[in-house]
Every structure is written in C-alpha cells, then in structure tokens.
Structure 1
Amino acid sequence: MRTLAIYQLKGGVGKTTTAVNVAALAAQEGLRTLVWDLDPQGAAGWMLNAEARQPQLQLWQQQQPINHFICHTGVERLDVLPGDMSLRKLLQLFPKRKQTRDFLADALSQLSETYGLVILDCPPLLSPTMDGVLQAADRILLPVEPSALSLRAYHQLREHCDWVKSAQWLPFANLIDRRKPAHGQWIRDTLPEHPEFLPTFVAWSATAERMAQNRTPVVLEQPATPMARNYRALWQTVRPLLKLG
C-alpha cells in the first residue's frame, strides 16, 4: 500500500478537488482506494456524498477501531474517512510530530490489509501535527496556482519541511486560466524556473464548482471535459512515481 498526501499552505488551490478526482481514477483502475479527510471542513467527504457518522477525533483518541469511521461511496472500490469539526482539536491531542507519525503508521498498517492506496486530504496549515502526517506519507502532491502567494506558500513549505526528500515532493500547476494574461506570463516566465514541477497541469474550469454541487468526481460524471482529461494526465504522471506495482 502507498500513501499520498495532498497538501498546500495556501487555501483555495484545489487540494480537495484533486484528492477526490485522483482517488476516483485510482479506483477506476481497480485499485482499492481510501480518501482520509484530515480537514475539519470535511469537504472531501461531502464531495464523495458521505458524511461523518461520528467525530473523527474519537478515532485519534482510539475510542473505536478505524473501520467504524470509514464510509463507502457510490464509486466502486472507493471509500472515504470523512473529516468533521472535531479535528480542530487534533493539535491539542497530538502536539508533537512523532505522536502523529506513530499513530498514522499504526493506522496505515491496518489499512494496508484492505487498500492499495490511501490519499490524505490535508488542511492548509503548518503544525507539528501536519509534520507528522507528511512523515507518514510516501509522496506529497502539491497543487500550486499561478500566483505569487501560492508559489510563496510552496517555497515556505519546502523550507520548513527540509527533512522531506526532494523526490517525495510532487508539485504541479493548478487552476491555470489561459484567458488571463497574468497566468500566461506565469507559465512562460515563472514555471520554467521550477523544473521540479510535474509536466502536467490542471486548468481552471467551472466544472469544479458543479462537481461540488453534484457531489460526484468530475472524472466520472463528465469524463470528456478538459478538467477530467487534465486529471487523467496528472494521475498517469503520479501513478508510476508512487511505485504501486
């Protein structure tokens, strides 16, 4: 089993949309996949038409086994562990990086008996708790929108997490709108300065907003749209890097 974290310090860059669509593509290929939503907003569970039956914090408090928190989605081979507002207290419960890393190592070991891929949908914050999450992940998929603030957040994260190996970072350009001159300039001038970025990108589309309303991954509901094609290209790039076998 492999673990892929979707992470960025800046909010609104498409982390959850990426997590849900990549997960759906993995499941579509026959890989039993779990999306573990670590964000108190619980957007991943919402987009997969599932809501927490009980506070996820109880899982971290080891009150019940992990399988009690997992929900099946309407997508074959795709499950979700929904997030909820109780996760706001996670930092108080796990104030040290090692605590989070050890807890996740044990939980992921249990999940490996059922799943081939676990995708961690992470909140946009920097904390010892999130450091532990990143330590437990095999790869970190990092969406960067074409803006100075998003790129700055990316660099801040790389500098803070200097213990993460370079090969673990998988940054990619997201929410590209070629109609905007600033985005075109960013692609021409800024992106070439970052050869570590994946060669694929995801364009902005109103399809993402409709996906949130319909609560179904766009790669399944509207597979012919440009956004769906972009996500398929992204998954085909990421898949071999995960070394899924």
Structure 2
Amino acid sequence: MRTLAVYQLKGGVGKTTTAVNLAALAARDNIRTLIWDLDPQGGSSWIFHADNGKQQDEFWRGKVPVGSLIRHTRIPRLDILPADMSLRKFHQRVDSRKEARQFMNDTLAALSETYGLIILDCPPLMTPQMEGVLRACDRILLPVQPSLLSIRAYQQIKDDFDWAKSKQWLPFVTMIDRRKPDHVRWVQQDLKEYPEFLNTFVGYSASAERMLHQRNPIVEDQPAVPLARNYRALWQTVKPLLNLR
C-alpha cells in the first residue's frame, strides 16, 4: 500500500480537485483506493456526497476505530474517509509532530490490509502536527499555481520541509492560464529554477466549477474536456512514481 498526500500551504490552487480526480483514476485502474479528507472544509467529502454522521475528531481522540468512519462512493473500488468541522481541533488532539507521525503510521499500516492506495486531501496548514502526517506519507504532491503568492507558499514549504527526500517531493504546475502573460512567462522562463517539478501541467478551466455543481470528479462526469485529459496525464506521471504493487 502507498500513500499520496496532496498538500499546499496556499488555498485555492486546485488541491481538492486534484485529489478527487486522481483517486477516481486510481480506482478505475483497479486499485482499491481510499481518499482521506483531512480538510475541515470537507471539499472532497462534499463532492462524493459523503456524510459519516460522526466526527473525525472522535478518531483522533481514540474514541472510534478508523474503519467506522469510512464510506463507499459511487465509484467502484473508491472509498472515502469524510471530513467535518471537528478537524479544526486537530492540532489540539495531537500533541506533537512525533505523535502525529506515529499515529498515522499505525493507522496506515492497518488500512494497508484493505487498500492499495490512500490519498490524503490535506488542509493548508503548516503545523508540527501536519508535518507529522506528511512525514508518514510515501509521496507529497504539491499543486503550484504560477502566481506570486502560490510560488511564495511553495518556497516556504520547500525551505521548512527540508527533511523530505527528492523522491517524496512531487510539485507540479496547476491552474495555468495561458491568457495571462505572467503565467506563460513564469512557466517558460522561471520554472527552470525548479528542476524538481513534474513535466505535467494542469490548465485553468471553468470545467472545475462545473465539477462542483455536478459533485462528481471531472474525469468521471466530463472525460473529454481538456481538464480531464490534464488529470489523466498527471495520473500517468504520478502512478509509476508511487511504486504500486
């Protein structure tokens, strides 16, 4: 079993859109997949119509087993561990980075008996507890929009998470709008300063908004649109890097 965290310090860069579409594609590749929504906003949970009737906070306090929170989605071989607003207290329930990492390691080990891939939709937080969660993951996928604030946020993460090995670190350019000269110029010129970026790009598209209205991954509901093709290309790039068995 492998774990992929989709993480960014800046919000609004397509993190949840990336997580739900890659999860759907993995499931369609016959990989038993779990998407674990750790963001209190619960974007992934909402898209998949998932309401667990319980609070994830109960799991982090050791009150309920993780399996009791997992729900099936309409996509075969894809389950979800829904989020809720109790996750705002996450940093209070876990004392330290070390405790968060150990807790995640133990939980992921138990889930490995059921799933081949777990995708974490992470909140835009840089806390010791969040770092502990990320340290427990095999790969960290970082969507970076070619805007000043998004690039700055990426650099902050890169500087602070110097523990991450190069094989764990998977940044890629997302929401590139080719109508904007600054976006095009950054990709053509400045991106050369970041050789660690994947050679796969996800464009800006209004299809992402339609996905929210349909509450279904774009690769499922609108498979022919350019954004769906972008995510299929991203999955084909990321999949071999996960060393799935």
TM-score strictly above 0.5: yes
The alpha-carbon deviation at position 189 of structure 1 amounts to: 1.4
Please say if residues 45 and 52 of structure 1, whose CA atoms lie closer than 8 Å, have aligned partners that are also in contact.
Answer: no
1:60 and 2:60 are equivalent in the alignment: yes
Q: How does 1:47-86 map onto structure 2 within 5 Å?
A: 47-86=47-86
AA partner of residue 57 (structure 1)? D
The alpha-carbon deviation at position 2 of structure 1 amounts to: 0.1
Runs (4 or more) in structure 1 with deviation over 3 Å come to none
Please say if residues 145 and 151 of structure 1, whose CA atoms lie closer than 8 Å, have aligned partners that are also in contact.
Answer: yes
Partner of 1:19: 19
CA offsets 1:132-186 (integer angstroms, 9 cap, x no match): 1111100000000011111111111011111111221000000011111111111
AA partner of residue 150 (structure 2)? S
CA distance in 2, matches of 1:49, 1:183: 34
5+ residue gaps in structure 2? none
Q: How does 1:1-245 map onto structure 2 within 5 Å?
A: 1-245=1-245
TM-score by length of 2: 0.98
May I ask how many residue pairs the two structures share in their alignment?
245
AA partner of residue 116 (structure 1)? G
CA offsets 1:117-146 (integer angstroms, 9 cap, x no match): 000110001101111111110000000001
Identity of aligned residues (%): 61
AA partner of residue 166 (structure 1)? S
The answer to which of 177-186 and 34-43 deviates more is 177-186
TM-score by length of 1: 0.98
AA partner of residue 116 (structure 2)? G
CA distance in 2, matches of 1:160, 1:187: 24
> 1:238 aligns to what SS in structure 2?
helix
CA distance in 2, matches of 1:64, 1:9: 29
> 2:167 aligns to what SS in structure 1?
helix
CA distance in 2, matches of 1:220, 1:213: 14
Please say if residues 72 and 79 of structure 1, whose CA atoms lie closer than 8 Å, have aligned partners that are also in contact.
Answer: yes
Over the aligned positions, Cα root-mean-square deviation in angstroms equals 0.8
